[in-house]
Amino acid sequence: MAAWPAEVIDERAVDIAEAADVLLRQQGAWRHRRVETITMLTHEQVRRHVSIDFTVPQDQSERLRISAEEFVVPLALLMKRPLVHFDLRNEEQHAIPLLTADQHRTIARELLYRQLDSDEADDAVIAAAADLIEAVLADDPQAVEPQIAELESAHGVELPDFRATASVLSRFFILWAIVRGLDRRRVYKFAFDEPAGRTPNFVFFIGAPGCSEAESYHLEVVVPADLKARRTLLVDAATGRRLVSGERDTDRPALYFRAESPLPEAPEIVIEFGAERWRFLAPAALVASIIALLIAPPFLFSDLTALPDTAGAAVGLVLSTSAVFSVLILRTDEHPLLRLMLVRARALLAASTVAALFAAASIGFRTAAWIIEGTWALAALVSVLTAGILIIEAIRAPR
């Protein structure tokens, strides 16, 4: 047992690479199902939970053996980036070890040389490819296609198998899990945190390379409280082809994809989020409308200069209550994504509230007539515009 982390992997690397070549070419034949759950942690990061249901073909088992009872299995391909909060477990929820980065490189190196043999490359080509192979095995993602084209051109050869494998291994690394027993169907689960790209209008883009690594692919998105997934898509970012779409305006969108030719070149999950109407937007629109009704009609129809002597205290009190009501609906105990999505709406409501307070203050402090007129004109404009924008946003928001 103590030998396999170093010596055994070196000794078995050729056999393991031969098995990996077969298994990675026929991923859907032995990985039956891949189930993923995407959980939004923040507006920049998600946690991906993956479950893989697989049965390794018996004719490849011996090549993958590293001890009497243990085997290495190429469970998945992961993007070349640091693994954050990574966790790998089996059906019994036992923590499972995996090969190190150096051991992965040892096997991947043998796999790449095997592909050169498959392409019938001569010794000169193999020697010239040595530096390119080491570049492919670097820890960071590499764009090696131009170098492969240069190698082919310089030696007048075509290397389709090497090109395909090198292109994958330059961007991904193989997750080699240590499996005890391959005589039955297994289910392994792993999870990790990863970044997510997004647009300013909160459309998120999350890579989904695993959608074609199994016969079937199932995805669920855990939507934060008080949000809805307006749309959820699986697309091929390279071609723009829509592969499958989920239910609209739901808090648990699900996608199902069956790997069929042609496989997507750059599969990607697209999720657009929206804040629920009654969580904040509708109450905010109501408050803004009340403020507008308290400001605009008096500005249009009342003698504002007479208010300080007749109803100053009452007007100030009525307008100030709008600020109190606004504060009551500005919660902070919410998901970071929701908080970010509501920044604009809260800023609008704050602007309306501040405008109301200044209008009340101009009367309460008995300022000059031109100040009262100007303050109320500005407050009326701000309150009406704010109410209109928030009403439109509330109508467009999911229920």
pLDDT, tens digit, 9 for 90 and up, residues 148-187: 999 889 888 899 999 999 999 999 989 999 998 888 899 9
49-53, 208-212, 259-263, range with the lowest pLDDT:
259-263
**What per-residue confidence (pLDDT) applies to 323?**
56
Co-location of 9 and 121 in the same domain: yes
Q: Is 4 a residue whose pLDDT tops 60?
A: no
* In-domain check, residue 210: no
Reference 115, options 169, 53, 76; nearest CA is 169
Reference 218, options 28, 35, 49, 38; nearest CA is 35
Co-location of 58 and 173 in the same domain: yes
* In-domain check, residue 44: no
* In-domain check, residue 43: no
Neighbours of 312 (CB within 10 A): 17
**What per-residue confidence (pLDDT) applies to 316?**
56
Co-location of 305 and 166 in the same domain: no
12-26, 30-44, 56-70, 308-322, range with the lowest pLDDT:
308-322
Distances (CA, A) of 184 to 53, 54, 60, 75, 213: 11, 9, 14, 15, 20
What are the structure tokens assigned to 147, written together? 């170098």
φ, ψ (nearest 5 deg) of residue 367? -80, 180
Higher-confidence position of 97 and 261: 97
pLDDT, tens digit, 9 for 90 and up, residues 187-243: 999 999 999 888 888 899 998 988 888 999 999 999 988 899 989 999 998 888 899
Q: Is the pTM of this model over 0.85?
A: no
**What per-residue confidence (pLDDT) applies to 175?**
92
Distances (CA, A) of 230 to 201, 215, 275, 288: 12, 28, 9, 25
* Cis bond before residue 57 (omega within 30° of 0): no
Reference 172, options 108, 94, 93, 253; nearest CA is 108
Our count of domains for the chain comes to: 2
82-91, 124-133, 226-235, 276-285, range with the lowest pLDDT:
276-285
Domain boundary among 149, 183, 217: 183
pLDDT, tens digit, 9 for 90 and up, residues 340-399: 888 888 888 888 888 877 777 777 666 677 777 788 788 889 888 998 999 998 888 888
Q: Classify strands 267-275 and 203-207 as parallel, antiparallel or unpaired.
A: antiparallel
Domain boundary among 183, 199, 228: 183
* In-domain check, residue 268: no
Co-location of 176 and 285 in the same domain: no
Co-location of 287 and 162 in the same domain: no
Co-location of 160 and 284 in the same domain: no
pLDDT, tens digit, 9 for 90 and up, residues 299-335: 776 666 666 555 554 455 455 555 555 555 556 677 8
Residue with tokens 């034949």, as numbered in its chain: 29
* In-domain check, residue 222: no
Co-location of 178 and 288 in the same domain: no
The CA R_g of the chain, rounded to the nearest whole Å, is: 31
Which DSSP helix (H) or strand (E) runs through 105? helix 101-118
What are the structure tokens assigned to 218, written together? 């199932």
**What per-residue confidence (pLDDT) applies to 197?**
87
Q: Is 292 a residue whose pLDDT tops 90?
A: no
Burial class of residue 73, CB neighbours in 10 A (0-12, 13-18, 19+): buried
Domain boundary among 125, 154, 183: 183
Residue with tokens 């032995």, as numbered in its chain: 30
* In-domain check, residue 155: yes
Report the alpha-carbon distance of residue 269 to residue 236 in Å, rounded. Answer: 9
Co-location of 141 and 290 in the same domain: no
Co-location of 149 and 6 in the same domain: yes
Co-location of 156 and 13 in the same domain: yes
**What per-residue confidence (pLDDT) applies to 1?**
37
The average confidence (pLDDT) of the chain is 84
**What per-residue confidence (pLDDT) applies to 17?**
92
pLDDT, tens digit, 9 for 90 and up, residues 228-240: 998 999 999 888 8
* In-domain check, residue 315: yes
- Residue 378's identity, in one-letter code, is L
Co-location of 4 and 150 in the same domain: yes
Q: Is 75 a residue whose pLDDT tops 50?
A: yes
* 197-198 β-sheet, strand order: 197-198, 203-207, 267-275, 227-236, 241-245
Co-location of 67 and 176 in the same domain: yes
Reference 165, options 145, 138, 140, 139; nearest CA is 145
* In-domain check, residue 223: no
- State the residue range of the domain holding 309: 277-396
For CA atoms 372, 374, 377, 379, give the dihedral sign: negative
